[in-house]
Chain A
Amino acid sequence: MNGHPNVVDAPCLLCQVNIYRALQVRNLDLYRPFCVFKTKAVHPVARLATIIGGAICGALCFGIWPEMWKSYGILGGWLTAAIAISICWYMNHWNGLIANPPGKLWVDQGWAVAAAGVAWSVVRFHAQLLEALPVVVCCLLGGAAAGWSAARIAQAEARAQSTPRPQETP
């Protein structure tokens, strides 16, 4: 939502005290949820919203992804990302169902998808929980490496933009 022209500060719908950024079009608050931004703890309703958003995202991923793969192969899997992840992202991150105050660490719906994958296979296929551990550690390692290197690259880019370049001689 950063840099969105129609995002304005608005009071919380519940307590009217704290500030939430709302998406405003033609003086209508398209989305004005509950205060989480200026409070230290997450608002109870925003907690509920985070749980609901995670549950819907996890259910969509593991309810339809295997079936789409089984029916349509590779294209079905690709299509599932386009139809399920897109609407989940729109709900969870563009509309902000998962609590993500500005200036705080990003909580992605990937946490919900990861937990849902493990829970789904444990319930449905009686998977052994601890057998996932080495792969989870590998995933965390790869993700951390990518996050670290992307942050370093972003910092270097910011530094390069802030320092004036030497004038080119004609």
Chain B
Amino acid sequence: MVEFLTHYVDWLGMTPAALVTTIFGAFCVTFVVIRCWGKLVDDFGPIGGMMAAGFIIGTFWVLNHKLPGFGIHPEGLPHPEGGIKQFGLVYQGFRGAAPWVDMGTAIAFGMWIHGIVLATRGKRAALILESMPRIGLAILGGIIGGALTGLVGWSGANLFGY
């Protein structure tokens, strides 16, 4: 069992264990956000939403995205059999080899699915069509912001080797 879970599946790019932990981490954070964030806003107003950002996203960041390594040397602890030890539930390929996959993916998609399941059957297609351009715009904004932030890697500064 352990051998199966920890062998590296080449076409998948990760181990079956990483597959399971990724799905579980995505489930946990999405479920908590759907259940709690709106309730916190109902109870405490905007302060509740800002509390939720720390308590839900911050806490689940530790669970899902805590990076390997420590302090200002986050280059990772090498695994005896090669590769980098993974500490977060959401699997990340080695820095530089695979893009960063954020738990925001799971949260956004989960809240979208939540709305679809709660909608009445006949109205689902119209709701999905209506939301598509808004999702596309949010993704476009994210691409612009992320790409522009990524440009700091090209600005010539060399701090801690990054």
Binding site for B on A (CB under 8 A): 2-4, 40-42, 47, 50-59, 61-63, 66, 69-71, 73-74, 77-82, 85-90, 93-94, 98-100, 104-129, 131-132, 134-136, 138-152, 154-155
Contact = CB atoms under 8 A, between A and B. Distances in A.
Interface residues of B, number: 94
Interface string B44-65: 0110011111100111011001
B67 interface: yes
Interface in B92-118: 92-93, 95-118
A145 B104 contact: no
Interface of B is mostly: helix
A75 to B, nearest CB: 9
A116 B149 contact: yes
B135 interface: yes
A59 B145 CA distance: 5
A81 B99 contact: no
Contact of A146 (B27, B92, B130): B27
Interface string B61-104: 11001110011101000000000000000111101111111111
Contact of A136 (B70, B101, B152): B101
Nearest to A152: B117
B142 A119 contact: yes
A146 B12 contact: no
30 contacts: A42-B137, A51-B137, A54-B139, A54-B141, A54-B142, A63-B149, A79-B58, A81-B58, A98-B134, A104-B115, A105-B119, A107-B131, A107-B135, A110-B102, A113-B142, A115-B138, A116-B143, A116-B145, A118-B100, A118-B101, A121-B99, A125-B96, A134-B14, A135-B13, A135-B14, A135-B101, A139-B22, A142-B24, A145-B27, A154-B118
Contacts of B151: 123-124
Given A82-B58, A143-B105, A154-B118, A124 B49 contact: no
